């Protein structure tokens, strides 16, 4: 009797396991970056059970994959430089353009990108910028320079939040100083070190996932922030203005990648194809308030999002991608960051 | 502490004799799999070579400990001096956790005393009330504390409205906010063990002390404290140790401006650094410090007994 029970339950277990595995998709995504309705729509259209875990930085994604999560997720959404790193680490699988019927919908300038030439493992998700926003009730002066963050005016001292990621914060600091990224020049690095240490006494807090919240609540009067996050803060009632500083700002593109050893490769490709449909890409943009890299989304866009100042950079200031530094220089930037927070 | 019925002696044990090893197996398996193996792995990883952007190369190295204790300048070519960065981070964490522990003791002891001296029926209600907030996730409680004390939060709004202050107190993003957060997070861990000790306390001893003309303070110092000391020590350990590794309160209430032990270690695994051996080394050093403190305590306890 006991044996019979055991075999039946094992058989049942195997059956249910198999039945579920056929219709599953496991997503590893940024927090607050895809509307639940869109996931539901995909689940319904393709009869797939969708599960999603979230992370809060590109580095956290890499760490999780390295620590053994590779093989449990089908797709992830790394930023530009992280696509390259994941690829170098051998964590990405490839597909053929013919695997995605909507491959042609990718905007031309986003097909042959430096971090994944010819789009062999990734498709564009959203792109945007990283700069800073200022509460206009508190500070009415000019915000055309990164000095607002790194050498702040009196009104903003002690009321600034900076992103809690070395990559973005130190890149903006480098832009302010006009030094190249990933430099190994000693004087330049010393200047960078001094700049951030001197500026820190005027900063109230470090935080990435709270970057929007602190501006809405008034805990901070200025803060480094991602463009869409700033637009959201504005729509939540903060009287803030997003800056495109003359020294330059960070541009980035997040991409849906096909992970190596994806348990549900077919569904992953269906999902990527689904996200390339203009209507669905627009749904993400309307939610996250960044810009999609897909053709033909305009008719589906919320006008407020389409015309938001955050998504329409003025002529002049230049956006740059964050570079992935080689090991010898990365350790120097890490040392500066630890030194800053010791 | 609890001197219960002497187990392992008398008739009951005969049934188990010969099977005792087998019966211990689940306990040993639990300790081995969930305690010893992870700690051993951590110790091993701290002596491996770091791989760029996270991960390790299986090659012996003491680089992680070298980085912790010696400073060779930003570019690594200066003669080594003592590295104060990480010692400073550890010291700050110990200080914060210590302040939180003392605050918990100062509030927790009277609270536990108050509860233990109620009659049996209301006691359980009080205990229940102490634990209610802790059904909520720690993250939520820490964020709530942030909402309460922020410059635009209810506390400041009320004080401003009532005219007690003319400017917000500026509590958020300070060391005080971190201590407050730790204190609030771990208070019940102080109250409950002390309560258990006070509940066992024989109040006839206080009466005897009073009969012998001991004042309130003398009674507390010479009679009560020695009796409830095990509860106090247990409470202090239960508050101090988790406070030491906390990173939610420093991040959310302290503004993440300075590393605490917890956030320093987190950064090694989740940050751009990706230096796993160093994270493991910092964890091992932390574990060693905590173990040393507990061992000293245990030895003193034995000597006292």
Average pLDDT over all residues of chain B: 86
At B303 the pLDDT is 65
In this structure, the answer to whether residues A102 and A151 fall within a common structural domain is: no
In this structure, the answer to whether residues A172 and A267 fall within a common structural domain is: no
Partners of residue A165 in chain B, C-beta under 8 Å: 271-272
What mean pLDDT comes out for the span B185-211? 91
What residues make up the domain containing A324? Answer: 128-251+314-341
At A166 the pLDDT is 87
Domain assignment present for A156: yes
Q: Give the pLDDT band (50/70/90) at residue B12.
A: low
Inter-chain CB proximity A62 and B269 less than 8 Å = no
Check: CB of residue B236 under 8 Å from CB of residue B101: yes
What mean pLDDT comes out for the span B80-91? 90
Q: How many domains in chain A? A: 2
Query: Helix or strand or coil: residue B109?
Result: helix
- Which CATH number does B102-259 carry? 1.10.3720.10
A-B contacts (CB, under 8 Å) = 92
Domain assignment present for A115: yes
pLDDT digits (tens, 9 = 90+) for A196-217: 999 999 999 998 888 999 999 8
pTM, entire model: 0.81
pLDDT digits (tens, 9 = 90+) for A288-297: 999 999 999 9
Number of H helices, E strands in chain B: 15, 4
The interface predicted TM-score of the complex, written ipTM, equals: 0.77
Domain assignment present for A1: no
Partners of residue A337 in chain B, C-beta under 8 Å: 271-273
Task: Select from B54, B89, B264 the Cβ nearest to the Cβ of A66.
Answer: B54
C-alpha B58/C-alpha A90 separation (Å) is: 19
Q: Which parts of chain A register pLDDT below 50?
A: 1-21
Q: Give the pLDDT band (50/70/90) at residue B73.
A: confident
Inter-chain CB proximity A189 and B74 less than 8 Å = yes
At A8 the pLDDT is 47
Q: Per DSSP, which regions of B53-175 are E strands?
A: 56-60, 70-71, 81-82
Token pair for B50 = 């770091």
Task: Select from B85, B269, B271 the Cβ nearest to the Cβ of A342.
Answer: B85
CA dihedral over B26, B30, B32, B37, signed as positive or negative: positive
Residue A81 annotated as part of some ligand binding site: yes
In this structure, the answer to whether residues A217 and A302 fall within a common structural domain is: no
In this structure, the answer to whether residues A108 and A218 fall within a common structural domain is: no
In this structure, the answer to whether residues A89 and A17 fall within a common structural domain is: yes
In this structure, the answer to whether residues A221 and A336 fall within a common structural domain is: yes
CA B253 to chain A, closest CA, distance in angstroms equals: 9
pLDDT digits (tens, 9 = 90+) for A233-243: 999 999 999 99
Domain assignment present for A5: no
At B13 the pLDDT is 56
User: How, if at all, do strands A240-242 and B56-60 pair?
Assistant: unpaired
Token pair for A183 = 């430099």
Check: CB of residue A15 under 8 Å from CB of residue A41: no
In this structure, the answer to whether residues A290 and A147 fall within a common structural domain is: no
Domain assignment present for A3: no
CATH of the domain at A50: 3.40.190.10
C-alpha angle A47/A49/A54, rounded to 5°?
Answer: 140
At B202 the pLDDT is 87
Token pair for A206 = 């470090």
Domain ranges of chain B: 33-82+275-305, 102-259
pLDDT digits (tens, 9 = 90+) for B239-269: 998 998 888 888 889 888 888 898 889 888 8
In this structure, the answer to whether residues A99 and A190 fall within a common structural domain is: no
Check: CB of residue A135 under 8 Å from CB of residue A238: yes
In this structure, the answer to whether residues A162 and A224 fall within a common structural domain is: yes
In this structure, the answer to whether residues A265 and A247 fall within a common structural domain is: no
C-alpha B56/C-alpha B50 separation (Å) is: 5
- Which of the residues A201, A208, A237, A342 would you substitute to probe the B interface, choosing the one with the greatest number of B C-beta atoms within 10 Å? A342
In this structure, the answer to whether residues A88 and A145 fall within a common structural domain is: no
In this structure, the answer to whether residues A269 and A211 fall within a common structural domain is: no
Domain assignment present for A80: yes
pLDDT digits (tens, 9 = 90+) for B213-235: 888 888 888 888 888 998 999 99
What mean pLDDT comes out for the span B44-55? 89
C-alpha A95/C-alpha A90 separation (Å) is: 14
């Amino acid at each position: 009797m006991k044996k019979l029970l055991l075999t039946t339950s094992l058989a049942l277990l195997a059956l249910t396991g198999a039945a579920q595995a056929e219709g599953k998709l496991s997503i590893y995504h940024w927090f607050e970056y895809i509307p639940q309705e869109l996931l539901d729509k995909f689940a319904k259209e393709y009869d797939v059970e969708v599960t999603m875990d979230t992370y809060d930085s590109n580095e956290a994604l890499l760490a999780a994959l390295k620590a053994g999560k590779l093989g449990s997720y089908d797709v992830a959404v790394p930023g530009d430089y992280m696509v390259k790193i994941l690829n170098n680490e051998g964590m990405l699988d490839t597909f053929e353009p013919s695997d995605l019927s909507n491959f042609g919908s990718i905007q031309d300038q986003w097909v042959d990108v430096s971090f994944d030439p010819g789009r062999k493992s990734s498709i564009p998700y959203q792109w945007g910028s990283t700069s800073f926003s200022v509460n206009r009730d508190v500070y009415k002066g000019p915000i055309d320079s990164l000095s607002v963050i790194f050498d702040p005016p009196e009104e903003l001292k002690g009321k600034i939040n900076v992103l809690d990621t070395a990559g973005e914060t130190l890149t903006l600091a480098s832009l302010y100083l006009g030094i190249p990224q990933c430099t190994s020049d000693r004087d330049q690095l010393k200047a960078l070190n001094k700049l951030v240490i001197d500026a820190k006494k005027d900063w109230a807090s470090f935080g990435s996932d709270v970057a929007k919240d602190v501006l809405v609540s008034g805990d901070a009067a200025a803060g480094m922030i991602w463009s869409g996050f700033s637009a959201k803060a504005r729509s939540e009632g903060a009287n803030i203005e997003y800056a495109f500083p003359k020294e330059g700002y960070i541009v980035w593109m997040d991409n849906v990648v096909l992970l190596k050893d994806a348990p549900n490769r077919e569904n992953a490709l269906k999902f990527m194809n689904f996200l390339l449909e203009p209507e669905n890409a627009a749904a993400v943009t309307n939610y996250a308030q960044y810009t999609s890299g897909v053709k033909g989304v305009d008719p589906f866009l919320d006008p407020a999002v389409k015309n938001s100042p955050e998504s329409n950079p003025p002529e002049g200031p230049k956006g740059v991608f964050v570079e992935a530094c080689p090991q010898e220089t990365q350790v120097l930037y890490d040392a500066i960051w630890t030194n800053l927070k010791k | 502490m609890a001197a219960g019925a002497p187990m392992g002696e008398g008739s009951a044990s005969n049934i188990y004799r010969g099977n005792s090893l087998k019966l211990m197996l689940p306990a040993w398996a639990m300790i081995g799999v969930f305690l010893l193996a992870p700690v051993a792995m951590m110790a091993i990883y701290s002596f491996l070579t770091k791989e760029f952007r996270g991960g390790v190369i299986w090659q012996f190295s003491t680089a992680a400990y070298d980085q912790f204790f010696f400073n060779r300048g930003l570019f690594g070519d200066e003669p080594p001096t003592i590295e104060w960065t990480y010692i400073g981070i550890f010291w700050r964490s110990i200080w914060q956790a210590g302040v939180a522990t003392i605050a918990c003791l100062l509030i927790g002891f009277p609270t536990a005393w108050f509860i233990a001296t109620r009659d049996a029926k209301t006691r359980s209600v009080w205990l229940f009330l102490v634990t209610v907030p802790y059904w909520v996730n720690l993250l939520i409680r820490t964020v709530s504390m942030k909402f309460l004390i922020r410059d635009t939060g209810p506390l400041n709004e009320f004080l401003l409205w009532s005219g007690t202050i003319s400017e917000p107190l500026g509590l958020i993003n300070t060391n005080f906010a971190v201590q407050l957060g730790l204190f609030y997070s771990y208070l019940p861990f102080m109250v409950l063990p002390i309560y258990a000790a006070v509940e066992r306390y024989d109040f006839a001893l206080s009466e005897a002390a009073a009969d012998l003309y001991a004042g309130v303070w003398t009674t507390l110092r010479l009679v009560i404290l020695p009796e409830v000391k095990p509860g106090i020590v247990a409470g202090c350990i239960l508050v101090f140790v988790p406070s030491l590794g906390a990173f939610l309160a420093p991040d959310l209430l302290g503004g993440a401006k300075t590393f605490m032990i917890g956030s320093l270690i987190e950064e090694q695994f989740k940050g751009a650094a990706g230096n796993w051996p160093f994270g493991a080394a910092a964890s091992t050093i932390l574990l060693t410090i905590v173990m040393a403190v507990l061992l000293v305590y245990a030895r003193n306890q034995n000597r006292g007994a």
